[in-house]
Amino acid sequence: MKWKNPLLLLLGIGVSNLGAWVYLIALNLIVLDMTGSPLAVSVLYILIPVATLCTNLWSGSFIDRLNKKNLMIFFDLIRALFIFSLSLMDSLTFIYVTVFIINIASSIFEPTSLVYMTKLIPKGNRQKFNALRNFINSSGFILGPSIAGFLFIIGSPYLAIQLNALALCLSAIIILILPNLEVRRENVMSEKVSLRLIKNDLGEILRFSKSNIHITLVYVLFSGITVFMTALDSLEAAFATEVLSLSKSAYGFLVSIAGIGIITGSLTNALFANRLKLNVLIGFGALFTPVGYLIFAFSHQFIWASIGFFTLTFALSFANTGFLTFYQNNVPVTIMGRFSSVLGILEALLIIIFTAAVGVFAELIGIQPIYIIGSFAFLILGFVINLVVFDKSKGDFYMEKTLSTSK
């Protein structure tokens, strides 16, 4: 495979992801400075799954019928425009509304980019590409806070937000250079997206799910990993500072260790992409990610907390690479946008419910007991995922040479 276009795509993803981290940190500080309320900051995070719930029912119908490249460029520019406008606002209400619109654009952009990636990257190279994509994303996880801190020194959080808007414009330019992978099909492209069409699309996804139970089961179970991680991560800062009594700088270093873990895991995946089977990647990641959370949950010293963080992010990189490749190889690109959007509704609902429940019970019972209980429940999910992906009768789903549904 010629790597020019995939590397350009990785560059576009990297620039956008790096800017997103800078934007997130800057926006948190702006809202905290305006209100002095951690609750006001937490609303920013709640707006993410709420935007998903508002868009995913219908967005897949658009994604599967429109040109993916043009759609990605459009939503990069839309996000750039609204993010830049944030730097001019002094009203919390307007900030929330604008962030909500940005999240809607992001919730459509993500499945669109996934479909485009699947079309661009041949099957035999997807595992390595996904590992490199994890590496790029995790590099943003490390570099983003550092760049944000530097920008705060020489300027302000508002400057950081303006530069993120510029980064999204640069991402759009990079995507513009990439090839157009779709032949215009007039009968499909001109089909008006209506309530009836959305209903028919939902029926099609339901039929695919019923006839491909294993694929759907793996997708739903893997969504559980995202749900547990989001819920537990909502207690992470409080656990580190209140239970472990870590300073803010020590917690920042802990986050950097987590970034090193996912970078190490991603590079390992990229180097051994041809030797590691997809079910091994998913199974290992699903089991050892919660193990990392448990190590962190029972830690009383910084060294054990750092081992827990490194373990969970190292394992997570395996799970992400394996699952994304499994998904791309087994779900047809013609319905991929709708499939991920519809099932994303369930994930978003569970994230809201679990995160709210964890927050309430942490207030009533205590942070550490809830964190431990949540980590053990997460570990049980990991065992269930291993039972599913190592079912010998389903081995064909994880073999490159037999995966042909995505053509």
CA 213 to chain centroid? 24
The DSSP-derived string for 161-216 is: HHHHHHHHHHHHHHHHHSPP-----HHHHT----HHHHHHHHHHHHHHHHHTHHHH
Give the torsion sign (CA, 155, 156, 160, 166): negative
Count of Cβ atoms closer than 10 Å to residue 346 Cβ: 14
pLDDT of residue 158: 87
Q: Which residue has the tokens 């599913």?
A: 388
| Tens-place pLDDT, residues 80-122 | 999 999 989 889 999 999 999 999 998 899 889 989 999 999 8
Total residues found in the chain within this entry: 407
pLDDT of residue 402: 42
pLDDT of residue 358: 87
pLDDT of residue 142: 67
Are the CB atoms for 293 and 373 separated by under 8 Å?
Answer: no
Taking 70 as the pLDDT cut, the residues of the chain under it are 1, 38-39, 141-142, 145-146, 183-193, 248, 400-407
Tokens of 261: 């873990």
| Tens-place pLDDT, residues 213-260 | 999 999 999 999 999 998 898 788 788 888 888 876 787 788 778 888
Q: How far apart are CA 169 and CA 151, in angstroms?
A: 19
Are the CB atoms for 394 and 330 separated by under 8 Å?
Answer: no
Tokens of 60: 């897949």
Tokens of 301: 């010293």
Cα R_g (the chain), whole angstroms:
21
pLDDT of residue 237: 76
